[in-house]
Amino acid sequence: MSGARPRVGLVAAGEIARHLTSVADVGGRSFTRAPWHEPYAAARSVAARLLSDSARPGFVLALALGEDEDEEVYGFAYGYSCSSLAVLAGRVAGDDFTLKELAVLPERCGMRYGAALHDTIVAAAGVRLKWLSTHPHARAALGLYRSRGWQVVGRPGTERVVMRRSV
């Protein structure tokens, strides 16, 4: 890839199903790596979770697409209106948004796809408080989130941190 900007866009509800195999492929290639180390089948199951979550209020899906007309999916991010992380972090639940998943193909990391996906989802969420949960050793993810104004507000166990972003 040259210095081209990542091509990221929101996916309409009626178009979600046609992207599930690509989302599963990205999950299978991303979440099997450190620090997650998920089994391949479990990592690919992100597509099934996404499909189930697409019925939730405030659902938003963004895809990072290749430069060519083939529209290869390089990454995805999705979230929905949900207060469960607020409660987990010991905060009052309200009108908020949870960034549920964000993944980029390993060979595309460092090319600003994650940042573009993040910014697209956050802008589309349009609510004041935002939440996410990630692995405490996911350095690249934590770096991205901190650079975008996220703060750690809870550590439920050893395998995840809860982060919050206002505005």
Classify domain 7-166 at the CATH topology level.
Aminopeptidase (3.40.630)
94-113: pLDDT as tens digits: 678 999 999 999 999 999 99
pLDDT of amino acid 88: 67
**Domains of the chain by residue range:** 7-166
pTM over 0.75: yes
Cα separation, 127 vs 58, whole angstroms = 10
Q: Residue 11: CA atoms inside 13 Å, Cβ hemisphere, count? A: 27
Q: DSSP 3-state assignment of 12? A: coil
Cα separation, 101 vs 61, whole angstroms = 10
Look-up of token digits 């941190």:
161
Give pLDDT tens digits along the chain (167 positions).
445 667 999 999 999 999 999 999 999 999 999 999 999 999 999 999 999 999 988 899 999 998 776 679 999 999 998 767 666 666 655 678 999 999 999 999 999 999 999 999 999 998 778 889 999 999 999 999 999 999 999 888 788 999 999 87
Q: Structure tokens of 128?
A: 């004041």
